[in-house]
Amino acid sequence: MNSFISDWYYLSIRNIKQIWRPLMALIPSLFIPLFFFLVNSTSFSAFSQVKGFPHVSYRQFIAPVAIFTAIFFSSGNAGIELVQDISNGYLKKLMIMPIHRLTIVLGRLTEVAVLAVFQGTVVLIPLMMIGVRINTGILGVIAMFTMLILFAMAWSCIGMITALRTQNARLVQSLFILVFPFLYMTTSQAPKNLLPGWFAVVATLNPVTSIIEGVRALVLDGWGNPAILQGFITAIVLFTVMVGFTVSSFRRALK
């Protein structure tokens, strides 16, 4: 057990150091969520007056989406960095060492979690400075980050699985395009009751909707909203399933 924790710790430290190399690479993932928040909250502000819209400003309504997007973007580097480790031979050296394969996965996921906290905090602070309020308080912020970090780690597994099975950097990088359909075919821009019938069905089937609704409930409502529990269940299930698939992909890569 001590060996497992030690391996996890040192792999995590090594991966976390990669976050800041180079630091300028973090700017797009911080700029984009705030840019879209400012543009959408301004151009669609009148939408909050539509019958059936929650009794909040449109700015408050989409603030959770900005936080979600910032943390969502933190999951993109895990697969790319894993391809680099495969290309330079580091992963091969790691594989022949007597360490548990799960620690390699957890080391990457720890990096995702640290980056998610950083990016989420950097986006949350200016949102609160312009008047966005979290109705569930500091505990709500902690719950919100926990839910989003679990989801970000689950999503990062897609990149790692692709990296292990294809070892193709261009293909792994192209997975970034999946962010937008999964993000926008949800209730991110409008409540479900105001969506067209077919779009509402797609949004309901999209697991990202549960995460967004869970975060939005923490921001706009209170602890009694069942969307919070549903969001956590979705995040935990996705995390468990995707980590299992990733570990399985590592075993296949050894054959």
CA distance 115 to 122: 11
Amino acid at 128: M
Predicted pLDDT at 78: 81
Residue pair 15/107 in contact by the 8 Å Cβ criterion: yes
CA distance 146 to 89: 34
At 69, list the tokens. 């997007």
Q: Give one DSSP letter per residue of 166-182, joined into a string.
A: H--HHHHHHGGGGHHHH
pTM above 0.95, yes or no: no
Predicted pLDDT at 1: 62
Full domain range(s) for residue 26: 2-254
**Tell me: the pLDDT tens digits for 71-121?**
888 777 788 888 888 888 888 887 777 777 788 888 889 999 999 999 999
HSE, side-chain direction, 13 A CA sphere, residue 158: 17
**Tell me: the pLDDT tens digits for 223-234?**
989 999 999 999
**Tell me: the pLDDT tens digits for 15-35?**
888 877 666 767 777 888 888
Domain count of the fold of the chain: 1
